[in-house]
Structure 1
Amino acid sequence: MLRAWPAPLVIELPAPAGVPATVNGFARFRCPEHPLFDLVIPAVAGLGPVLVADSRDATADATTQRLGETVGVVVNAGTRPVLAPTVVRAADAGWAVTEAGAFPPAEIERLAARIVLFVCTGNTCRSPLAEALAKKLLADRLGCTADELPARGFWVLSAGVAAYGGGAASEESVAVAAELGADLGGHSSRPVNPQLLMAADDVIAMTQGHLHALAARYPGIGPAARLLCGDEDLDDPIGADAEVYRACARTILLHLGRILPEWVGS
């Protein structure tokens, strides 16, 4: 829900017996997107759980008269466009869309997946290689294509601490990735930003310099970043010949092989 905010998305969760306002035993939750909540929620957060519901009444007075002391605050949010939310039911067995709405299921797949973010400098050499090779390894392990990974629980991305955005991967990276069965032809570089970091489950950097840059610019945002190569830096191959890129890719594969069991088991 936090990754999707402020999207029209409702999550249904199994409710304990006796909880009111359930739908077939499921309670519905939605992150409110009205700007008023930026003020209201922090002000009442210390008072305990806060239940927010759309009354669908024409006026705040109508809701107050109908519900009486059941509610503490009634707000008229004014006329707003009606976007039917997509309802997702989450349970131990997984999740499923129970009511189609404005939020596309493909986006839910991506946001519900484990998000892995590789970080380098310009996002044209090392982190794109790591992204492409991680997708290849995960797809091989799960018996699917790289495009199907979000539906299987993994969304793999890359970014750069000094990337401008929109740049292609280096020709050498594209060629070496292809030699190893991975595809970098459609890569477009992106800069690191707080939204990416907050959404990520794993942030994997190439050097200590990248770790320091992330800590200095985005303190406390997202999971603690770590180095791909354990305690060692992965040198930038930019400007070098194809063999240096191949050596870089082999090192990436070696350490991805060490990390992958964390995500999919041995």
Structure 2
Amino acid sequence: MSDTFAILYVCTGNMCRSPMAERMTRAALAARLGPDADRFTVYSAGTGTMDGRQMTTEAAAQVKAYAADPTGFVSAELTESHVGGADLVLAATRAHRSDVVTLDPGALRRTFTITEFARLAAALTDHAADRTTVAAPPELPAEPVERARALVAAAARARGTVRPARLDDDDIPDPIGQSVEVYEHVGAIIAEAVGVSVTALAGS
């Protein structure tokens, strides 16, 4: 088994949501893990894009607003090899999650929406959580990559047990062509989910 862990983010154009999540995650892992962050690969792709597009100016501004670096980003069209190389796939919406699993059915147990995984990860690592909906949190390894693998497996087993307040909460809206305020709203949703997920993946 590899001693590295790969996270793939997926949206449509790979110009707004998934690039924001990718770059915020890289920054959060570096802050949490220091040199061990190099053992985590974070990348993104789009279901309806082409290779080589730039992140939108508004998305780049949101990345900077959350102390992450948008420099050098270019889009990639989602391929089966992208999915096959990922230990965890996080999709912007339920439709993107379905697209990933259609492309690679074997990815089902490691594919979630961004907000779905954050919700599950929080419940699985919060020892004070309501145990009427989710089992007691597993004893996760201290070693970062082993911990990340164990958390993804636990999240797959717990899928459906911690439901969103509204089904739409598992879909992050597409801000492309929208106002700065919409980008700020989407950036805040992604930043919160990334923070929760990285905290759970990396441990304290």
Q: TM-score over 0.5 for the alignment?
A: yes
Tell me which residue corresponds to 1:255.
193
Q: Which amino acid aligns with 2:182?
A: V
Q: How does 1:1-266 map to 2 (within 5 A)?
A: 112-143=3-34, 149-150=37-38, 153-221=39-107, 223-230=109-116, 231=164, 232-266=170-204
Give the ranges of 4+ consecutive aligned residues of structure 1 lying more than 6 Å apart after TM superposition. Answer: none
C-alpha displacement at 1:222, in angstroms?
A: 7.2
Name the SS of the counterpart of 1:155 in structure 2: strand
Q: Which amino acid aligns with 1:149?
A: A
Moved more, 135-144 or 170-179: 135-144
C-alpha displacement at 1:112, in angstroms?
A: 4.2
Name the SS of the counterpart of 1:185 in structure 2: coil
**1:38-80 deviation digits (Å, cap 9, x = unpaired):** xxxxxxxxxxxxxxxxxxxxxxxxxxxxxxxxxxxxxxxxxxx
**1:201-231 deviation digits (Å, cap 9, x = unpaired):** 1000010110121222322247531011125
- Contact in 1 for aligned 2:83/2:100 (Cα 8 Å): no
TM norm structure 1 = 0.53
- Contact in 1 for aligned 2:45/2:76 (Cα 8 Å): yes
Q: Which amino acid aligns with 1:191?
A: E
- Contact in 2 for aligned 1:169/1:185 (Cα 8 Å): no
TM norm structure 2 = 0.69
- Return 5+ residue gaps in structure 1 as ranges: 2-110
C-alpha displacement at 1:236, in angstroms?
A: 0.5
When you count helix as a share of all residues, which structure comes out higher?
A: 2
Distance verdict in 2 for CA 1:221–1:179, change over 3 Å: closer
State the aligned residue count. 152
Q: Percent identity?
A: 33
Name the SS of the counterpart of 2:21 in structure 1: helix
